[in-house]
Chain A
Amino acid sequence: MQPVYVTASAQCLPGAPVGNDAMVDYIGRLSPEAERLGRLTLRQNRIRGRHYAIRPDGGSDWTVARLAAQAVRSVLAETDPRRVGFLATATTQNDLLVPGLASGVHAESGLPPIEVASLQSVCASSMMAFKAAALQVAAGEHRAAIVAGAEFSSRYFRPGHYLGTDTMRADGTLPGDAEFLRWTLSDGAAALLIEDKPAEQGLSLRVDWISLRSFADRFAPCMTGGAVRGPDGTLTPWSLGEGAPDAARAGAFQLRQDIDALYRMLPVWMGEFMRLVDEGRIDPQAVDWFLCHFSAHSLREEMVKLATRAGCMIPEERWFTNIYDKGNVGAAAIFLMIDDLMRSGRLRPGQRILCAVPESGQCIMAYAGLTVVGDTK
């Protein structure tokens, strides 16, 4: 197979950064008690800033397709657009139920007719799209491909999606699994250009391997949207009831995250790391930059102990993150990190980058190994 390289990257973060105190102006007020839970969540996730595509009045000039297309246009500016034959997109929730996001992004991107793929999951959809794009180029189908990840989750967090639903409690609070995400996720997009040769100038990232595995054989859905929850916890698709208004009243269109289940997934995500070490794909000692879509502080002590004993702990000074200032942007997050790292001036030829993207949805873990090539001039 043809070696492939990330030769350019770009991001689109809408509006000015929003600090913790101003968040509630954008996602809206449910109750003082809900905001207290929000502050608690922010203390845990340590996010200080993020961007929102929604305005405080609930309106927006953006769609998730437009956010992604803006990032795509920025990478296109760095290449000959005629080389690009494939566009893969990743998101958690598309603007429309039908058709797929790649069509919406293609429409807004200014690209001529091309091959597209819409990958929908949660955070790991980014790696599905990344792998699709890398393989398309590696297989010789296309000389260049673009992968874009985008999220516009703030629109689902507005009070109108909660008030009057069964989820809302009498005291104006939501269950923790619904409130948590309101204070965790935010908006933005990022894109990578993937080519069959390194950039003529500057640094590129050779894509050495991408690995993705689902553990849905042993985990129930953990982060969900679109389901009506029965009293015994069973999930019924919103479309199998009396109609959309009923499903909405039952809270089917709200995003939920079972935090306890998420913590049960951590060992499985780390087990994947160990498997890749044993297979010789990851050498923990040789990793110069660890781009991880969860933060070192979120690992409990026992996990650090487990990793250390197994020779798998990458020292914290090699972890690279931007989550504290740019927020948790789901399917865009890993591309935002790659873009920030490529622009940081800290990369040197020969350095090894390890990307890690866990997905709590129904438990997926994805890793990718990249090597810095080219020159720093």
Chain B
Amino acid sequence: MTVVERIEDNGVLVERTHRGLAQVWIDFESALVQVPVIARLTTGKLRREDYLALLRNLRQQVVEGSRWISRAASNLGPEHEELRSLFVRHAVAEHRDYRLLEQNYVAAGGALEDILSARKNIGSEALSAFLYQTASKPDPLGMLGAMFVIEGLGERLALPWSQAIQAQLGLGKEAVSFLAYHGANDGDHLDMFDHALALAVRDADTADEIVRHARIVARLYRLQLEELDHV
């Protein structure tokens, strides 16, 4: 069966997955305003120490990103060859992103050794543990749900956040490049994601698993933002 035929075949299932993911995203995004640091950001009351904490805490999760994606890739069997190569390419594209966070941290007035030595917060620990555990299972297609949420942050929120942070704290571009870069580039990632979804969703169970993983990751990501510096 060619890829085109398969996409037509599973069209209804893919739509159902998109619908489930969209609801997870909408619930996640709209509930973010209840997280203190995001509430301060959206009401124009962000402090420099908030931004530094955000960078310091995000870095400990981002540094793991390409590692769990690679692990998931290695567990995709021969049935999912094409998907595996998408995962590998994605892992390569993002594997040094955490360095931008470190540069931004210093540019925003933080000390490099602080961001390098910080531990994962309670939420990051839970998120990371879940991602590695899921990525370690055979054919971990649910990871697509996790990637949807994390890519969605870059696609939909990173750019407005970077602009708001710059405006509120009077920082230069060099202090927000991680968020600005993701805002500018993750659109392509999401197109690739649509392609990956069409490849992966061949039955209702997979559709449900992808949405379920998205729901879990969305909650754990919010926990990570709620637990800044709680290690």
B22 with A268: CB separation less than 8 A: no
Q: Which chain B residues lie closer than 8 Å to A312 at the CB level?
A: 19
Asked if B26 and A311 sit within 8 Å, CB to CB, the answer is: no
Segment at the A interface, from B29-37, B61-69, B223-231: B29-37
Contact B22 A274 (CB under 8 A): yes
Query: What chain B residues lie within 8 Å of A218 (beta carbons)?
Result: 30-31, 33-34
Of A215, A217, A267, A275, most B-chain CB atoms within 10 Å = A267
Q: Does A114 contact B (CB under 8 A)?
A: no
Q: Cβ of B174 < 8 Å from any Cβ of A?
A: no
Report the minimal beta-carbon distance from A324 to chain B, rounded to whole angstroms. Answer: 29
B119 at the A interface (CB under 8 A): no
**A10, chain B: closest CB distance, angstroms:** 37
For chain B, which range describes its interface: under 10, 10 to 19, 20 to 34, or 35 or more residues? 10 to 19
* Cβ contact within 8 Å between B26 and A268: yes
The answer to whether B18 touches A275, judged by C-beta atoms less than 8 angstroms apart, is no
Residues in A neighbouring B30, C-beta threshold 8 A: 215, 218-219, 264, 267-268
Q: Which of A219, A220, A270, A309 contacts B26 (CB 8 A)?
A: A270
In the complex the two chains form, is B31's CB within 8 Å of A274's CB?
no
> Which of chain A's residues have a CB closer than 8 A to the CB of B82?
none
The winner among B18, B25, B31, B34 for most chain A CB atoms within 10 A is: B18
Contact A310 B22 (CB under 8 A): yes
> Whole-angstrom distance between the alpha carbons of A336 and B137 in the complex?
56
A52 nearest CB across to chain B (Å): 36
A233 at the interface (CB under 8 A from B): yes
CA distance A264 to B19 in the complex (A): 18
Contact of B18 (CB < 8 Å), options: A219, A268, A271, A309: A309
Instruction: Kindly state whether residue A317 has any CB partner on chain B within 8 Å.
Output: no
Query: Is there contact, CB below 8 Å, between B29 and A310?
Result: no
**Which residues of A from 213 to 239 have beta carbons under 8 Å from B?**
215, 217-220, 232-233
Q: How far is the CA of A220 from the CA of B33 in the complex (A)?
A: 10
Are A311 and B22 interface neighbours, CB within 8 A?
A: no
The docked-state distance in angstroms from the alpha carbon of A232 to that of B30 is: 21
Contact with A311, one of B15, B25, B31 (Cβ below 8 angstroms): B15
Task: Please report B residues at the A interface, Cβ cutoff 8 Å.
Answer: 12, 15-16, 18-20, 22-23, 25-27, 29-31, 33-34, 43, 45, 194
6 A-B pairs in the complex with CB atoms less than 8 angstroms apart: A217-B34, A218-B30, A218-B31, A267-B22, A268-B26, A271-B27
